[in-house]
Structure formats: structure tokens, C-alpha cells
């Protein structure tokens, strides 16, 4: 009887040691989740805090972060790309805005499940939903579209000069993560405007303007360095959608507008 009790205790001890060993293995050797529902891993790339590859931040410093919870959030938001970083950060998007070199730093265990990898320091574990096509940067300027012509990169200063160069917008607002040059121009045209502009990769503005024979461009428009307009559109990273700075809140702060005019304004139709 005593020997049987000893045997049972020994068996339980072995089981406990094995379980602890498995936990230790999980802690020291997390693995990449290759597939989850319709999501699949597409690699690890570097990232930058100043210019994120995926724009939409879902969570940061989340102690419950797992690959599954991040991708569930991206899917619920209608995004086709998801990414994890630092073990506890989750990002989503519809385009890879900035393509950095591939990285081997995706080794950090997920804060909510240490058996999984959730990116690393300035290293993003990327996932794609259902093989949905997506674009990657770098962007370039779309010079023409239908009867629209690119007019240049314009500088705006707020608020002392009276507000935006283009104070209106499409009748149906365009969600930030669906922004492309074509959608903005179509939206402005449908609203009856002949001038359009894009900013910060995600904003679309419109107006009705004239250019008289003594002017080279509409009133208050002031060209700036073209390269200041270099922000990729959030839904098409191959296109430029203005400057990278979102709407400024400080007095006399400035941002840049990728400006377009219809050919009839310029009498070039």
C-alpha cells in the first residue's frame, strides 16, 4: 500500500516536472502562428515609429495581446492586413505604406500567450487576410485621371490665413482607410467641384475655383517643394496623397496638399 502511494506521488511529480518543462519551453521558444482562420503570415519586416508600415493602431501595451486577438480586431474593422510588434502592439491597414527590409527580430513572445511570437522591437509580424490583394509603397504622383490634372504640391497654413484652400468635401465622406486619389477626385466631381486635394494620406477636400488670364493658379494657392507631398494613400500605397502631417492644431502650422484641377478650369479640355 505504501509503495503504491509512493509510486503515485512519483508519477505526479514527473507529470508536474514535464508540465513545467513545457511552460519553460514555451517561454523560451515561442513560434510564429502561420495561419489563423483565413489569415496567413507573410513575413517579418522592419518598422519605424515615425512612419508606420500599417497606419491603424488597435492596441499598445496590451497585456492580453495574442496573434488571434489582433487579427480578430483587424478583421472586425474590415482591414486586410494585420501586424504585431513588441509583443503587445497591434496594427491594421489596407496597404503596406512603407516597405522596410525584412527582419529577423520577430522573436518577442505575445504578452497574452508566450507560446506565440508577436513581432519584436521595430519588427512587424505581418498577416494577410484571404489572399486579398494589397499595394505597397513607395508612392508616386498620379499626374492625370479622367479630366483631372495634377497641379502641384500646395502649402497650407492654419488658422491665421482664413482656413483651408479647399473648404469642402465629397457628398459622401470617404473613410480614411479607403482613400485613393481616384476616389477623392470622383467624389469631388460628383459634388460639382472642379478642384480637389489630398492630405496626410487620408483626407480629401474640394472647391469650385476660377483662374483668370492674369493668374497662373487659383487665389491663395502657393506652390511648395513637390517632395513635401510624399504621403502614401492609405488604400493605395503606390499613390501620393499629400503631405504626411495630419491636420495641424498649432497656430501657423502648415501641411501640404496634393492639388488637382479639371481641364476646363485651365481651358485645356
Opening angle at CA 81, ends 75 and 82, nearest 5: 75
Per-residue pLDDT of the chain in tens (269 residues, 90 and over written 9): 434 433 433 333 333 333 333 334 344 699 999 999 999 999 999 999 989 999 999 998 999 999 999 999 999 999 999 999 999 999 999 999 999 999 999 999 999 999 999 999 999 999 999 999 999 999 999 999 999 999 999 987 655 555 788 999 999 999 999 999 999 999 999 999 999 999 999 999 999 998 876 667 787 888 888 999 999 999 999 999 999 755 444 444 568 999 999 998 877 77
- Rg of the chain on CA atoms, in Å: 25
Contact 257, 141 (CB under 8 A): no
What gap in Å lies between CA 178 and CA 174, rounded to an integer? Answer: 7
Residues contacting 133, CB < 8 A, separation 6+: none
Q: What is the pTM of this model?
A: 0.81
DSSP letters spanning 8-19? HHHHHHHHHHHH
What gap in Å lies between CA 47 and CA 101, rounded to an integer? Answer: 9
What gap in Å lies between CA 43 and CA 66, rounded to an integer? Answer: 17
Amino acid at each position: 500500500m505504501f509503495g503504491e502511494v509512493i509510486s503515485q506521488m512519483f508519477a505526479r511529480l514527473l507529470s508536474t516536472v514535464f508540465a513545467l518543462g513545457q511552460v519553460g519551453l514555451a517561454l523560451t521558444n515561442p513560434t510564429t502562428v502561420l495561419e489563423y482562420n483565413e489569415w496567413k503570415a507573410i513575413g517579418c519586416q522592419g518598422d519605424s515609429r515615425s512612419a508606420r508600415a500599417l497606419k491603424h493602431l488597435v492596441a499598445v501595451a496590451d497585456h492580453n495581446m495574442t496573434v488571434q486577438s489582433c487579427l480578430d480586431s483587424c478583421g472586425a474593422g474590415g482591414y486586410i492586413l494585420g501586424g504585431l510588434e513588441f509583443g503587445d502592439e497591434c496594427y491594421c491597414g489596407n496597404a503596406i505604406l512603407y516597405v522596410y527590409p525584412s527582419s529577423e527580430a520577430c522573436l518577442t513572445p505575445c504578452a497574452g500567450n508566450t507560446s506565440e511570437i508577436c513581432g519584436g522591437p521595430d519588427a512587424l509580424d505581418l498577416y494577410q487576410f484571404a489572399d486579398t490583394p494589397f499595394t505597397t509603397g513607395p508612392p508616386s504622383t498620379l499626374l492625370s485621371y479622367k479630366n483631372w490634372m495634377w497641379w502641384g504640391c500646395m502649402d497650407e497654413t492654419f488658422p491665421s490665413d482664413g482656413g483651408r484652400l479647399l473648404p469642402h468635401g465629397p457628398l459622401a465622406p470617404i473613410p480614411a482607410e479607403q482613400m485613393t486619389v481616384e476616389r477623392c477626385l470622383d467624389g469631388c466631381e460628383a459634388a460639382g467641384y472642379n478642384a480637389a486635394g489630398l492630405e496626410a494620406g487620408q483626407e480629401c477636400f474640394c472647391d469650385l475655383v476660377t483662374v483668370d488670364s492674369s493668374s497662373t493658379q487659383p487665389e491663395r494657392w502657393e506652390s511648395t517643394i513637390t517632395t513635401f507631398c510624399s504621403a502614401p494613400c492609405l488604400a493605395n500605397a503606390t499613390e501620393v496623397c499629400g503631405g504626411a502631417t495630419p491636420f495641424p492644431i498649432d497656430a501657423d502650422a502648415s501641411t501640404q496638399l496634393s492639388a488637382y484641377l479639371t481641364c476646363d478650369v485651365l481651358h485645356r479640355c
